[in-house]
Amino acid sequence: MLALDRESAEPLYEQIYRYIKEAIEGGHFVAGTRLPSVRALAAENGVSKITVEQAYVQLAAEGYIRAHNRSPYEVLDLPYYEEVTSTLLPTEKSKRVGAEEDNHVSAQAMERMKPVVYYNFATGAMDPEGFDYTRWKRYIGYVLREPERLMGYGDSQGESVLRENLATYLQGARGVQSTADRIIIGSGTQSSVAVTASLLRRRGLRRIAVDSSLYNVIIGVFEDCGFSVISVSQDSEDLVQRLVDERIEVFYCTPSHGDSQGRVMSVARRKELLRWASLSKAYIIEDDYDSELRYYGRPMASLQGLDKEERVIYIGTPSKVLPPSIRLSYMVLPQDLMDDFIKGKERYRQSAGVMEQLVWARYIEAGEWSKQIRRLRKHYAEKSRYMAKLLMTYLGDSIIVTAPEGGVYIGVTVHTVLPKSLVTQRALAAGLAVKEDRTVDGVSYLLSFSAIPTQQLEKAVMRLAAAWKGI
Protein backbone atom coordinates (compact mmCIF):
# COMPACT_ATOMS: atom_id res chain seq x y z
CA MET A 1 0.00 0.00 0.00
CA LEU A 2 1.23 3.47 -0.91
CA ALA A 3 1.64 6.15 1.76
CA LEU A 4 -0.91 8.60 0.36
CA ASP A 5 -1.55 11.89 2.16
CA ARG A 6 -5.27 12.52 1.74
CA GLU A 7 -5.03 15.93 3.42
CA SER A 8 -2.31 17.18 1.10
CA ALA A 9 -3.03 19.83 -1.55
CA GLU A 10 -1.29 17.53 -4.00
CA PRO A 11 -3.93 15.44 -5.83
CA LEU A 12 -3.92 11.72 -5.13
CA TYR A 13 -3.18 10.79 -8.73
CA GLU A 14 -0.07 13.02 -8.67
CA GLN A 15 1.10 11.33 -5.49
CA ILE A 16 0.74 7.92 -7.14
CA TYR A 17 2.47 9.23 -10.26
CA ARG A 18 5.37 10.68 -8.24
CA TYR A 19 5.82 7.50 -6.14
CA ILE A 20 6.06 5.23 -9.22
CA LYS A 21 8.23 7.70 -11.13
CA GLU A 22 10.74 7.91 -8.28
CA ALA A 23 10.71 4.10 -7.90
CA ILE A 24 11.57 3.70 -11.59
CA GLU A 25 14.27 6.39 -11.56
CA GLY A 26 15.74 4.89 -8.39
CA GLY A 27 15.99 1.44 -9.95
CA HIS A 28 13.42 -0.15 -7.62
CA PHE A 29 11.22 -0.97 -10.61
CA VAL A 30 13.43 -2.39 -13.34
CA ALA A 31 12.59 -2.53 -17.03
CA GLY A 32 9.98 -5.17 -17.78
CA THR A 33 8.32 -4.95 -14.36
CA ARG A 34 4.56 -5.29 -14.66
CA LEU A 35 2.73 -2.75 -12.53
CA PRO A 36 -0.46 -3.72 -10.69
CA SER A 37 -3.63 -3.40 -12.75
CA VAL A 38 -5.64 -0.21 -12.41
CA ARG A 39 -8.36 -2.09 -10.57
CA ALA A 40 -5.93 -3.81 -8.18
CA LEU A 41 -3.97 -0.67 -7.27
CA ALA A 42 -7.17 1.32 -6.80
CA ALA A 43 -8.64 -1.32 -4.48
CA GLU A 44 -5.40 -1.67 -2.49
CA ASN A 45 -5.15 2.06 -1.83
CA GLY A 46 -8.83 2.91 -1.49
CA VAL A 47 -8.95 5.28 -4.46
CA SER A 48 -10.98 5.36 -7.65
CA LYS A 49 -9.87 3.59 -10.81
CA ILE A 50 -9.87 6.98 -12.57
CA THR A 51 -7.30 8.27 -10.06
CA VAL A 52 -4.94 5.39 -10.82
CA GLU A 53 -5.60 5.64 -14.54
CA GLN A 54 -4.63 9.33 -14.50
CA ALA A 55 -1.33 8.49 -12.83
CA TYR A 56 -0.58 5.66 -15.25
CA VAL A 57 -1.49 7.73 -18.30
CA GLN A 58 0.83 10.54 -17.20
CA LEU A 59 3.67 8.06 -16.67
CA ALA A 60 3.01 6.55 -20.10
CA ALA A 61 2.96 9.98 -21.72
CA GLU A 62 6.38 10.74 -20.26
CA GLY A 63 7.84 7.41 -21.36
CA TYR A 64 8.23 5.68 -18.00
CA ILE A 65 5.74 2.88 -18.70
CA ARG A 66 3.68 1.52 -21.55
CA ALA A 67 0.60 -0.60 -21.96
CA HIS A 68 1.53 -4.20 -22.73
CA ASN A 69 -1.25 -5.48 -24.98
CA ARG A 70 -4.05 -6.52 -22.62
CA SER A 71 -1.69 -6.95 -19.69
CA PRO A 72 -0.93 -4.37 -16.97
CA TYR A 73 1.42 -1.50 -17.66
CA GLU A 74 5.08 -2.41 -18.11
CA VAL A 75 8.09 -0.38 -16.92
CA LEU A 76 10.34 0.83 -19.73
CA ASP A 77 14.12 0.94 -19.75
CA LEU A 78 15.15 4.55 -19.14
CA PRO A 79 18.35 4.32 -21.26
CA TYR A 80 16.08 3.24 -24.14
CA TYR A 81 17.08 5.88 -26.67
CA GLU A 82 20.77 5.53 -25.88
CA GLU A 83 20.48 1.80 -26.44
CA VAL A 84 18.73 2.23 -29.76
CA THR A 85 21.34 4.72 -30.91
CA SER A 86 24.14 2.36 -30.04
CA THR A 87 22.63 -0.44 -32.12
CA LEU A 88 22.64 1.87 -35.09
CA LEU A 89 26.31 2.72 -34.73
CA PRO A 90 28.92 0.46 -36.35
CA THR A 91 30.60 -1.85 -33.85
CA GLU A 92 33.41 -4.32 -34.19
CA LYS A 93 30.87 -7.09 -34.47
CA SER A 94 28.80 -5.32 -37.12
CA LYS A 95 31.94 -4.74 -39.18
CA ARG A 96 32.59 -8.46 -39.21
CA VAL A 97 29.07 -9.66 -40.09
CA GLY A 98 27.51 -9.38 -43.52
CA ALA A 99 25.32 -6.56 -44.72
CA GLU A 100 22.20 -8.70 -44.35
CA GLU A 101 22.68 -9.10 -40.57
CA ASP A 102 23.56 -5.40 -40.25
CA ASN A 103 20.30 -4.45 -41.90
CA HIS A 104 18.42 -6.82 -39.64
CA VAL A 105 19.78 -5.13 -36.53
CA SER A 106 18.93 -1.69 -37.87
CA ALA A 107 15.41 -2.76 -38.76
CA GLN A 108 14.87 -4.05 -35.24
CA ALA A 109 16.08 -0.77 -33.80
CA MET A 110 13.85 1.24 -36.11
CA GLU A 111 10.83 -0.87 -35.17
CA ARG A 112 11.48 -0.11 -31.50
CA MET A 113 11.59 3.59 -32.28
CA LYS A 114 8.28 3.46 -34.15
CA PRO A 115 5.57 5.02 -31.95
CA VAL A 116 2.67 2.82 -30.92
CA VAL A 117 -0.78 4.39 -31.41
CA TYR A 118 -3.27 3.33 -28.75
CA TYR A 119 -6.00 5.80 -29.70
CA ASN A 120 -6.43 7.38 -33.14
CA PHE A 121 -7.95 10.86 -33.00
CA ALA A 122 -6.76 11.58 -36.55
CA THR A 123 -8.72 9.20 -38.76
CA GLY A 124 -12.08 10.07 -40.25
CA ALA A 125 -12.94 6.43 -40.88
CA MET A 126 -16.52 5.33 -40.43
CA ASP A 127 -17.44 4.30 -36.88
CA PRO A 128 -18.03 0.49 -36.74
CA GLU A 129 -20.49 1.07 -33.89
CA GLY A 130 -22.76 2.85 -36.33
CA PHE A 131 -23.16 0.06 -38.89
CA ASP A 132 -25.52 -2.92 -38.85
CA TYR A 133 -23.56 -5.70 -40.56
CA THR A 134 -26.48 -8.14 -40.49
CA ARG A 135 -28.49 -5.90 -42.80
CA TRP A 136 -25.62 -5.63 -45.30
CA LYS A 137 -25.15 -9.42 -45.22
CA ARG A 138 -28.80 -9.84 -46.16
CA TYR A 139 -28.27 -7.97 -49.43
CA ILE A 140 -25.08 -9.88 -50.16
CA GLY A 141 -27.23 -13.00 -49.97
CA TYR A 142 -29.73 -11.56 -52.45
CA VAL A 143 -26.97 -10.85 -54.98
CA LEU A 144 -25.44 -14.32 -54.60
CA ARG A 145 -28.75 -15.81 -55.69
CA GLU A 146 -28.08 -14.34 -59.15
CA PRO A 147 -24.57 -15.70 -59.89
CA GLU A 148 -24.90 -15.04 -63.63
CA ARG A 149 -24.64 -11.30 -62.89
CA LEU A 150 -21.25 -11.87 -61.29
CA MET A 151 -19.65 -13.73 -64.20
CA GLY A 152 -18.29 -10.71 -66.05
CA TYR A 153 -16.14 -7.62 -65.69
CA GLY A 154 -19.13 -5.33 -65.55
CA ASP A 155 -20.00 -2.10 -67.33
CA SER A 156 -17.01 0.26 -67.64
CA GLN A 157 -19.27 3.09 -66.50
CA GLY A 158 -20.65 1.11 -63.56
CA GLU A 159 -23.63 -1.20 -63.08
CA SER A 160 -26.72 0.42 -64.56
CA VAL A 161 -28.99 -0.48 -61.63
CA LEU A 162 -26.65 1.28 -59.20
CA ARG A 163 -26.38 4.35 -61.44
CA GLU A 164 -30.16 4.56 -61.72
CA ASN A 165 -30.66 4.28 -57.95
CA LEU A 166 -27.91 6.83 -57.31
CA ALA A 167 -29.39 9.32 -59.78
CA THR A 168 -32.71 9.17 -57.91
CA TYR A 169 -31.06 9.46 -54.51
CA LEU A 170 -28.72 12.32 -55.47
CA GLN A 171 -31.54 14.34 -57.00
CA GLY A 172 -33.73 14.00 -53.91
CA ALA A 173 -31.09 14.25 -51.16
CA ARG A 174 -28.42 16.50 -52.66
CA GLY A 175 -30.20 18.38 -55.47
CA VAL A 176 -27.72 16.97 -58.01
CA GLN A 177 -28.76 17.34 -61.65
CA SER A 178 -28.11 13.98 -63.22
CA THR A 179 -29.37 10.91 -65.00
CA ALA A 180 -27.95 7.40 -64.86
CA ASP A 181 -26.02 7.88 -68.11
CA ARG A 182 -24.08 10.82 -66.60
CA ILE A 183 -22.79 8.85 -63.60
CA ILE A 184 -19.52 6.91 -63.44
CA ILE A 185 -18.82 4.44 -60.63
CA GLY A 186 -15.29 4.10 -59.22
CA SER A 187 -13.47 2.16 -56.51
CA GLY A 188 -13.00 5.04 -54.09
CA THR A 189 -12.47 8.80 -54.30
CA GLN A 190 -8.86 8.49 -55.43
CA SER A 191 -9.98 6.34 -58.36
CA SER A 192 -12.58 8.91 -59.43
CA VAL A 193 -10.08 11.75 -59.05
CA ALA A 194 -7.57 9.89 -61.24
CA VAL A 195 -10.13 9.54 -64.06
CA THR A 196 -11.10 13.21 -63.70
CA ALA A 197 -7.47 14.36 -63.79
CA SER A 198 -6.85 12.32 -66.94
CA LEU A 199 -9.90 13.77 -68.71
CA LEU A 200 -8.99 17.34 -67.78
CA ARG A 201 -5.35 16.93 -68.76
CA ARG A 202 -6.38 15.60 -72.18
CA ARG A 203 -8.23 18.88 -72.65
CA GLY A 204 -4.95 20.72 -72.17
CA LEU A 205 -5.64 22.00 -68.65
CA ARG A 206 -2.68 22.17 -66.30
CA ARG A 207 -3.29 24.69 -63.47
CA ILE A 208 -5.34 23.56 -60.48
CA ALA A 209 -6.02 25.03 -57.04
CA VAL A 210 -6.82 22.60 -54.21
CA ASP A 211 -8.42 23.51 -50.90
CA SER A 212 -5.85 23.34 -48.10
CA SER A 213 -7.94 20.93 -46.00
CA LEU A 214 -7.62 18.12 -48.55
CA TYR A 215 -5.28 15.15 -48.29
CA ASN A 216 -1.89 15.16 -49.96
CA VAL A 217 -2.86 12.06 -51.92
CA ILE A 218 -5.34 14.14 -53.94
CA ILE A 219 -2.62 16.64 -54.75
CA GLY A 220 -0.31 13.77 -55.72
CA VAL A 221 -2.81 12.42 -58.26
CA PHE A 222 -2.90 15.76 -60.08
CA GLU A 223 0.86 16.23 -59.90
CA ASP A 224 1.35 12.76 -61.41
CA CYS A 225 -0.88 13.85 -64.30
CA GLY A 226 1.32 16.89 -64.96
CA PHE A 227 -0.75 19.58 -63.22
CA SER A 228 0.74 22.60 -61.52
CA VAL A 229 -0.94 22.58 -58.08
CA ILE A 230 -1.37 25.44 -55.60
CA SER A 231 -3.02 25.27 -52.18
CA VAL A 232 -5.74 27.77 -51.23
CA SER A 233 -8.35 28.11 -48.50
CA GLN A 234 -11.90 27.89 -49.78
CA ASP A 235 -12.94 30.09 -46.84
CA SER A 236 -10.53 32.98 -47.56
CA GLU A 237 -12.07 36.32 -48.47
CA ASP A 238 -9.84 36.77 -51.52
CA LEU A 239 -10.34 33.25 -52.89
CA VAL A 240 -11.82 34.17 -56.25
CA GLN A 241 -9.33 36.98 -56.83
CA ARG A 242 -6.50 34.56 -56.19
CA LEU A 243 -7.98 32.04 -58.63
CA VAL A 244 -8.02 34.81 -61.24
CA ASP A 245 -4.51 36.06 -60.44
CA GLU A 246 -3.05 32.54 -60.57
CA ARG A 247 -4.85 31.80 -63.86
CA ILE A 248 -6.41 28.70 -62.33
CA GLU A 249 -8.26 26.36 -64.71
CA VAL A 250 -9.61 23.86 -62.16
CA PHE A 251 -10.60 24.36 -58.52
CA TYR A 252 -11.00 21.36 -56.17
CA CYS A 253 -13.14 22.07 -53.11
CA THR A 254 -15.42 20.52 -50.45
CA PRO A 255 -18.34 22.98 -50.17
CA SER A 256 -20.49 20.83 -47.88
CA HIS A 257 -17.75 19.60 -45.55
CA GLY A 258 -17.86 21.78 -42.43
CA ASP A 259 -14.67 23.43 -41.17
CA SER A 260 -13.48 23.36 -37.55
CA GLN A 261 -16.23 25.86 -36.73
CA GLY A 262 -18.90 23.68 -38.32
CA ARG A 263 -19.41 26.11 -41.18
CA VAL A 264 -20.14 25.00 -44.75
CA MET A 265 -19.63 27.11 -47.87
CA SER A 266 -22.25 29.85 -48.10
CA VAL A 267 -24.63 30.23 -51.02
CA ALA A 268 -23.00 33.57 -51.84
CA ARG A 269 -19.55 31.97 -52.10
CA ARG A 270 -20.96 29.10 -54.20
CA LYS A 271 -22.52 31.51 -56.69
CA GLU A 272 -19.32 33.56 -56.75
CA LEU A 273 -17.34 30.44 -57.70
CA LEU A 274 -19.85 29.45 -60.39
CA ARG A 275 -19.60 32.93 -61.92
CA TRP A 276 -15.79 32.66 -61.91
CA ALA A 277 -15.95 29.24 -63.59
CA SER A 278 -18.33 30.57 -66.25
CA LEU A 279 -16.23 33.63 -67.08
CA SER A 280 -12.92 31.73 -66.97
CA LYS A 281 -14.20 28.61 -68.74
CA ALA A 282 -12.82 26.73 -65.76
CA TYR A 283 -14.06 23.63 -63.97
CA ILE A 284 -14.93 23.15 -60.31
CA ILE A 285 -14.49 19.71 -58.75
CA GLU A 286 -17.00 19.36 -55.92
CA ASP A 287 -15.95 16.63 -53.50
CA ASP A 288 -19.15 16.10 -51.49
CA TYR A 289 -17.16 14.67 -48.60
CA ASP A 290 -19.38 13.48 -45.66
CA SER A 291 -22.21 15.80 -46.74
CA GLU A 292 -24.75 13.27 -45.44
CA LEU A 293 -23.45 13.57 -41.88
CA ARG A 294 -25.13 16.80 -40.81
CA TYR A 295 -26.53 16.23 -37.33
CA TYR A 296 -29.36 18.73 -37.46
CA GLY A 297 -31.65 19.90 -40.23
CA ARG A 298 -31.33 19.20 -43.92
CA PRO A 299 -27.84 19.32 -45.49
CA MET A 300 -27.25 22.24 -47.86
CA ALA A 301 -27.84 21.26 -51.48
CA SER A 302 -24.84 20.54 -53.67
CA LEU A 303 -22.90 23.18 -55.58
CA GLN A 304 -23.53 21.13 -58.71
CA GLY A 305 -27.27 21.64 -58.25
CA LEU A 306 -26.78 25.40 -58.71
CA ASP A 307 -24.68 25.01 -61.85
CA LYS A 308 -26.50 26.12 -65.01
CA GLU A 309 -23.53 25.94 -67.40
CA GLU A 310 -22.11 22.51 -66.58
CA ARG A 311 -18.83 23.64 -65.08
CA VAL A 312 -19.01 21.38 -61.98
CA ILE A 313 -17.65 17.84 -61.66
CA TYR A 314 -19.41 16.16 -58.75
CA ILE A 315 -17.65 13.39 -56.73
CA GLY A 316 -19.04 11.40 -53.81
CA THR A 317 -18.44 8.21 -51.85
CA PRO A 318 -20.35 6.08 -49.33
CA SER A 319 -17.15 5.46 -47.31
CA LYS A 320 -18.21 7.77 -44.45
CA VAL A 321 -21.56 6.02 -44.08
CA LEU A 322 -20.55 2.45 -44.95
CA PRO A 323 -17.35 0.67 -43.83
CA PRO A 324 -14.33 1.99 -45.78
CA SER A 325 -13.53 -1.54 -47.01
CA ILE A 326 -16.53 -1.16 -49.33
CA ARG A 327 -14.44 0.61 -51.98
CA LEU A 328 -16.96 2.59 -54.02
CA SER A 329 -17.29 6.13 -55.32
CA TYR A 330 -19.29 7.95 -57.97
CA MET A 331 -19.05 11.07 -60.05
CA VAL A 332 -21.33 13.13 -62.26
CA LEU A 333 -19.58 14.72 -65.23
CA PRO A 334 -20.55 17.72 -67.39
CA GLN A 335 -21.72 16.54 -70.79
CA ASP A 336 -18.53 17.55 -72.64
CA LEU A 337 -16.34 15.52 -70.27
CA MET A 338 -18.82 12.65 -70.33
CA ASP A 339 -18.48 12.57 -74.13
CA ASP A 340 -14.70 12.41 -73.75
CA PHE A 341 -15.05 9.53 -71.29
CA ILE A 342 -17.29 7.56 -73.62
CA LYS A 343 -14.90 8.07 -76.55
CA GLY A 344 -11.93 6.79 -74.58
CA LYS A 345 -13.60 4.50 -72.06
CA GLU A 346 -11.25 1.63 -72.93
CA ARG A 347 -8.60 3.62 -71.08
CA TYR A 348 -10.74 3.63 -67.95
CA ARG A 349 -11.43 -0.01 -67.21
CA GLN A 350 -13.91 -0.37 -64.34
CA SER A 351 -12.08 -0.93 -61.06
CA ALA A 352 -15.06 -1.28 -58.71
CA GLY A 353 -16.24 -4.81 -57.92
CA VAL A 354 -19.51 -5.87 -59.52
CA MET A 355 -20.73 -7.55 -56.32
CA GLU A 356 -20.22 -4.45 -54.19
CA GLN A 357 -22.05 -2.34 -56.76
CA LEU A 358 -25.03 -4.70 -56.91
CA VAL A 359 -25.23 -5.02 -53.12
CA TRP A 360 -25.20 -1.25 -52.65
CA ALA A 361 -27.83 -0.86 -55.39
CA ARG A 362 -30.18 -3.23 -53.54
CA TYR A 363 -29.35 -1.53 -50.24
CA ILE A 364 -30.38 1.86 -51.68
CA GLU A 365 -33.48 0.50 -53.41
CA ALA A 366 -34.73 -1.11 -50.19
CA GLY A 367 -34.44 2.20 -48.30
CA GLU A 368 -31.63 0.90 -46.08
CA TRP A 369 -29.19 3.57 -47.28
CA SER A 370 -31.43 6.40 -46.07
CA LYS A 371 -32.05 4.57 -42.77
CA GLN A 372 -28.30 4.07 -42.26
CA ILE A 373 -27.65 7.78 -42.79
CA ARG A 374 -30.28 8.67 -40.18
CA ARG A 375 -28.90 6.13 -37.69
CA LEU A 376 -25.36 7.39 -38.13
CA ARG A 377 -26.36 11.05 -37.78
CA LYS A 378 -28.02 10.29 -34.44
CA HIS A 379 -25.06 8.20 -33.26
CA TYR A 380 -22.49 10.86 -34.21
CA ALA A 381 -24.51 13.67 -32.66
CA GLU A 382 -24.60 11.83 -29.33
CA LYS A 383 -20.98 10.72 -29.47
CA SER A 384 -19.70 14.19 -30.41
CA ARG A 385 -21.52 15.74 -27.44
CA TYR A 386 -20.03 13.10 -25.13
CA MET A 387 -16.49 13.66 -26.37
CA ALA A 388 -16.84 17.46 -26.19
CA LYS A 389 -17.92 17.07 -22.55
CA LEU A 390 -14.91 14.84 -21.81
CA LEU A 391 -12.51 17.31 -23.41
CA MET A 392 -13.87 20.14 -21.28
CA THR A 393 -13.77 17.96 -18.15
CA TYR A 394 -10.15 16.83 -18.47
CA LEU A 395 -8.52 19.73 -20.34
CA GLY A 396 -10.74 22.57 -19.11
CA ASP A 397 -9.42 26.09 -19.58
CA SER A 398 -6.34 24.94 -21.49
CA ILE A 399 -8.38 24.47 -24.67
CA ILE A 400 -11.25 25.91 -26.68
CA VAL A 401 -13.67 23.28 -27.97
CA THR A 402 -15.77 23.87 -31.07
CA ALA A 403 -18.69 21.46 -31.14
CA PRO A 404 -19.34 20.29 -34.70
CA GLU A 405 -22.62 20.38 -36.60
CA GLY A 406 -21.71 17.29 -38.56
CA GLY A 407 -18.93 14.85 -39.46
CA VAL A 408 -16.61 13.06 -37.05
CA TYR A 409 -14.18 15.79 -35.97
CA ILE A 410 -14.26 18.21 -33.02
CA GLY A 411 -12.27 21.42 -33.36
CA VAL A 412 -9.82 22.07 -30.50
CA THR A 413 -7.52 25.06 -30.01
CA VAL A 414 -4.81 24.65 -27.37
CA HIS A 415 -3.70 27.60 -25.22
CA THR A 416 0.09 27.22 -25.26
CA VAL A 417 3.32 29.02 -26.10
CA LEU A 418 4.77 25.81 -27.52
CA PRO A 419 4.97 25.27 -31.27
CA LYS A 420 2.32 23.02 -32.79
CA SER A 421 4.92 20.44 -33.83
CA LEU A 422 5.97 19.91 -30.22
CA VAL A 423 2.38 19.66 -28.98
CA THR A 424 1.70 17.07 -31.68
CA GLN A 425 4.83 15.16 -30.72
CA ARG A 426 3.80 15.02 -27.08
CA ALA A 427 0.51 13.43 -28.09
CA LEU A 428 2.30 10.93 -30.32
CA ALA A 429 4.72 10.02 -27.54
CA ALA A 430 1.69 9.12 -25.43
CA GLY A 431 0.40 6.80 -28.14
CA LEU A 432 -2.14 9.25 -29.58
CA ALA A 433 -2.53 10.20 -33.24
CA VAL A 434 -3.94 13.72 -33.69
CA LYS A 435 -4.77 15.70 -36.81
CA GLU A 436 -3.47 19.25 -37.10
CA ASP A 437 -5.99 21.77 -38.40
CA ARG A 438 -4.20 23.50 -41.27
CA THR A 439 -7.12 25.79 -42.09
CA VAL A 440 -6.82 28.06 -39.03
CA ASP A 441 -4.01 29.84 -37.22
CA GLY A 442 -2.72 28.80 -33.83
CA VAL A 443 -2.21 25.41 -32.21
CA SER A 444 -5.43 23.87 -33.48
CA TYR A 445 -6.52 20.30 -34.05
CA LEU A 446 -9.36 18.29 -35.51
CA LEU A 447 -9.96 15.39 -33.12
CA SER A 448 -12.00 12.49 -34.44
CA PHE A 449 -14.16 10.27 -32.27
CA SER A 450 -15.21 7.77 -34.94
CA ALA A 451 -12.41 5.17 -34.59
CA ILE A 452 -12.45 5.07 -30.78
CA PRO A 453 -15.14 2.90 -29.15
CA THR A 454 -17.51 4.91 -27.00
CA GLN A 455 -16.58 2.98 -23.85
CA GLN A 456 -12.90 3.87 -24.40
CA LEU A 457 -13.35 7.55 -25.15
CA GLU A 458 -12.85 8.66 -21.55
CA LYS A 459 -9.55 6.76 -21.26
CA ALA A 460 -8.42 8.23 -24.58
CA VAL A 461 -9.19 11.80 -23.52
CA MET A 462 -7.53 11.25 -20.14
CA ARG A 463 -4.38 10.09 -21.91
CA LEU A 464 -4.51 13.20 -24.11
CA ALA A 465 -4.96 15.44 -21.07
CA ALA A 466 -1.94 13.83 -19.42
CA ALA A 467 0.17 14.29 -22.55
CA TRP A 468 -0.76 17.95 -22.83
CA LYS A 469 -0.56 18.74 -19.12
CA GLY A 470 1.32 21.95 -18.37
CA ILE A 471 1.80 23.09 -21.96
pLDDT in tens, 285-307: 999 988 888 887 677 789 999 99
What percent of the chain clears pLDDT 70, i.e. is strictly above it?
Answer: 89
Report H helices in 319-367. Answer: 335-343, 354-365
pLDDT at 202: 94
Asked which of 213-217, 275-279, 341-345 is least confident by mean pLDDT, the reply is 213-217
- Does the pLDDT value for residue 111 go beyond 50? no
Query: Does 119-129+374-467 carry CATH code 3.90.1150.10?
Result: yes
Reported as type and span, the H/E element at residue 14 is helix 12-25
Question: Which residues are within 8 A (CB) of 345 and not within 5 positions of it... i.e. 6 or more apart?
Answer: 156, 157
Taking the C-alpha atoms of residue 212 and residue 61, their distance in angstroms, rounded to an integer, is 31
Taking the C-alpha atoms of residue 41 and residue 35, their distance in angstroms, rounded to an integer, is 9
Whether the domain at 12-113 and the domain at 133-370 fall into the same CATH topology: no
Mean pLDDT value of segment 203-219? 89
Taking the C-alpha atoms of residue 64 and residue 73, their distance in angstroms, rounded to an integer, is 10
Report H helices in 175-302. Answer: 189-202, 216-224, 239-245, 267-280
pLDDT at 235: 86
CATH code matching the domain that covers 133-370, chosen among 3.40.640.10, 3.40.50.300, 2.30.29.30, 3.40.630.30: 3.40.640.10
pLDDT tens digits, one per residue of 441-463: 789 999 999 989 999 999 999 99
| Residue 360 and residue 318 in contact, taking contact as beta carbons nearer than 8 Å | yes
pLDDT tens digits, one per residue of 272-283: 999 999 999 999
Computed on alpha carbons and rounded to an integer, the radius of gyration of the chain in Å comes to 26
Parse the chain into domains and list their residue ranges: 12-113, 119-129+374-467, 133-370
pLDDT tens digits, one per residue of 6-41: 888 888 888 898 888 888 877 778 888 888 888 888
Give per-residue burial for 400-430: e unless 16+ CB within 10 Å, then b.
Answer: ebbbbbbbbbbbbbbebeeebeebbebbeeb
pLDDT tens digits, one per residue of 384-417: 999 999 999 999 999 999 888 888 899 999 999 8
Q: Count H helices, E strands: the chain?
A: 17, 15
Mean pLDDT value of segment 69-74? 67
- Backbone torsions φ then ψ of 26, nearest 5 degrees: -85, 0
- Does the pLDDT value for residue 99 go beyond 90? no
pLDDT at 115: 59
pTM for the model: 0.73
Task: Give the CA angle between residues 270, 287, 280 to the nearest 5°.
Answer: 50
The chain-wide mean pLDDT, for the chain, equals 85
Fold held by 12-113: Arc Repressor Mutant, subunit A (1.10.10)
Taking the C-alpha atoms of residue 135 and residue 220, their distance in angstroms, rounded to an integer, is 37
